[in-house]
Chain A
């Protein structure tokens, strides 16, 4: 098992290095001059040139790359040209909110998607299957910004059950910062008022983000169940009168969700990408907004660090997915 994990980690390192190199080169292809943006709206060419020199944008690309790699090796992502704060600190402050959102969306998609897929597979070509298929196609087809606005209109405006935007209501004192995750920090501080308020704020963005993934997991689970139901062992178990419910929810399910589990790993990446839109609509204080602002203002160090961080999280989740995969199918431990 240890060899399996080590192998996966070693495979990931070149990917991360490649990501770093590609991102470093890509952000420099963009024609925007960060010195011009940094100098401000009213700046003269002399001011811009002085700032370009001050930040080293006029040095050779290889020199800039070597300097940056040296920093990254020391886990120093530099300072944002705009906020004048350490990029690492800014990301640490925001990543927990994005992880809260994506994990909540993943839980919703998984907890609902797998049972729905099983139901659809078991009731193949009957009305539960049709309903689930229509819902899953709808989930994939609908744009997240549209569903977000509809959910806001229904639950925040019409019914008034859930907050419209943000992470916490105004006028509430936040708990002391420990992890930068409002949910965890409120739990640590025993602030149940903040915990409840934060959970209520999480519902609409998490549901919005989960819908596409929910549909995907449902479809993959359904396909897996349909395939497994044709297997000989299912026929045998049925023939010997094995309880149907246990057969479906234990044996068929375990053999059916492997493809869905792979999808869950991949979905995490798409959830992080989708979080950019969802965070914008719900004013969720994650890395999505931060990264978009960095792109618009050509804040290179933030763009590089955010991309690397997202790549790292994605890689870790995929390693985790491989582990779950191997747990479901122990033959994989032995594979090279």
Chain B
């Protein structure tokens, strides 16, 4: 449930008055974050921000993204090397890493984990399914794994951190009817991460507790006062989340803190707000196959009619970075010379006239679908609606949900005229954004829901996907992005600054765009 900014403002003011007397004693070595929980605990079934909150603490992966901008850091792996043609990849594991049951992590576990991801076939499998067959993953010895791809695939190494390594012996013991222990792992864990699940505390979407794993392969020397127990307690309502932070019953909010809460928390004296530029772009999609959006001048009219600076400065209070392209502006492959579209109703009018002269049906009513639970999509739609009305364009705002919209995006006819959403970081590679959003082979997925098609762009993206070296791939993504921006298939608004309310007693919060800084192993609690 969401409440309006005005209501939040009112209660935040009241909370400010109240903060001095309402503090409760916090446990000295227990961190209570108000993060959301995933639908279930299996890291091979669920891939979203809440899933990362659990998986990054319960599991380890071969490589992990750390810091901001994210650096691909060897984790369970010592190295991952590609053959010159980019088809064969060989991974060497570090020695001595152990699962929570004390057994050693071997190449067999890595093989099983990747095969399980492919067999279950849910979101973490997406980058691998077109290029990797289960039979082509093999353990050469207890420390070495070989992946033989169907064709060269540059984003392979970037996508490897999406696969958490699970304890194959433990899971095989819980398999039922060839389900890869999917039923069991949904409420349990089989990892080696810095924290162990306390299974009896787990209630899906409600709560889960974890205890520190003292034998973690990285050790704990870096952290003299590690957190002993993690009690994740999702809070449904923003007001409760903020009040909980202010009275000490929660240590952290999620990273979707509304901007009008920033000052309240910053002035509270008990907590602060961490502001971290990330890689989550916010955009308005246009259905390029549906007239008049199939007309490039009409799309450019819309691109010039959005008040980018007004939205970012006035509504978001500057808590976002203008990003004129579909690529996060902090990522390699981003073309720095692209200015994008600016808010200019004069130009918008010119493009509208051109589109009308070309026979585009500009007088019809348009629909823009918003994600009802996410107030910012409503705000953006209202800003846009107002400016388009001044051009004589009639836009109707339709409340919707993400599941409905992803379903609608499967066909041109059912995809809305426009809809608003974010594209988050699933793996740090241009493929995650321009690759999957604008290559026409992905039509039918929500990421490619603008139904954009440009053979030259397809060619560039496919060529980039087939190369291994970043230096070879970057110019191709830059060129593809320039072409895409020139065609204006969507309206790209900003790259997110994540806002997370954190109690002052929490030390060592280490943000990275993948996982949003949820790794408790770096944190400690001040007395």
Interface 0/1 of B397-425, CB less than 8 Å to A = 00001111011101000000000000010
Flag whether A42 is at the interface (Cβ < 8 A): yes
Q: Are A157 and B243 in contact (CB under 8 A)?
A: yes
Residues from chain A with Cβ under 8 Å of B246 in the complex: 157
Q: Is B207 an interface residue (CB 8 A)?
A: yes
A94–B401 CA distance with the chains assembled, in angstroms: 25
Contacts of B424 in A (CB 8 A): 41
- Does the CB pair A159–B21 fall under 8 Å? yes
A80, A82, A156, A293: the one within 8 Å of B247 (CB) = A156
Is B1 interfacial (CB 8 A cutoff)?
A: yes
CB-contacts of A1-49 with B (<8 A) = 30-34, 36-48
Q: Which of A270-314 contact B (CB under 8 A)?
A: 277, 279-283, 285, 289-290, 292-293, 296-298
**Could you tell me the distance between the alpha carbons of A144 and B14 in the complex, rounded to whole angstroms?**
18
Known contacts A47-B121, A84-B182, A157-B15; decide if A283 and B235 are in contact (CB<8 Å).
yes
B binding-site residues for A, Cβ under 8 Å? 1, 3, 7, 11, 14-15, 17-19, 21-24, 26-27, 30, 32, 39-40, 42, 45-48, 121-127, 129-130, 182-183, 186-187, 200-201, 203-207, 231, 233-237, 239-240, 243-244, 246-247, 249, 373, 401-404, 406-408, 410, 424, 426, 436, 442, 444-447
In the docked arrangement, what's the CA distance between A158 and B21, Å? 6
Question: Contacts A37-B406, A82-B40; is A153 near B121 (CB within 8 Å)?
Answer: no
- Cα(A171)–Cα(B444), bound, Å: 48
List B contacts of A160 (CB < 8 A). 21-24, 247
State whether the Cβ of A68 lies closer than 8 Å to any Cβ in chain B.
Answer: no
Residue A149 at the B interface, CB < 8 A? yes
Q: Is the CB of B203 within 8 A of A45?
A: no
Q: Nearest CB to that of A80 among chain B residues?
A: B204
Given contacts A170-B27, A281-B236, A285-B207, contact A157 B18 (CB under 8 A): yes
Asked if A238 CB lies within 8 Å of chain B CBs, one says no
Q: How far is the CA of A280 from the CA of B403 in the complex (A)?
A: 21
Cβ of A163 within 8 Å of any chain B Cβ, yes or no, is yes
Q: Chain B contacts of A41 at CB under 8 A?
A: 47-48, 123, 424, 426, 446
Minimum CB–CB distance from A293 to chain B (whole Å) comes to 5
Known: A170-B233, A283-B236. A45 touches B406 (CB 8 A): no
8 A Cβ contacts from A112-168 to B? 145-146, 149, 152-153, 156-160, 163-166
Question: A277 and B445: CB pair below 8 A?
Answer: no
Residues of chain A contacted by B187 (CB below 8 angstroms)? 83-85
Task: Provide the residues of chain A in CB contact with B239, threshold 8 Å.
Answer: 149, 152, 281
Closest to A86 in B: B183
- Say yes or no: A32-B40 contact (C-beta < 8 A), given A283-B236, A290-B205: no
* Nearest Cβ on chain B to A231's Cβ, whole angstroms: 47
How many Å lie between the Cα of A47 and that of B119 in the bound state? 11
Contact among B22, B47, B123, B204 with A83 in the assembled complex (CB-CB below 8 Å): B204
A292 to B426, CA, bound (A): 26
Q: Which residue of A lies closest to B183 (CB)?
A: A84
Q: Which residues of B contact A83 (CB under 8 A)?
A: 39-40, 186-187, 204-205
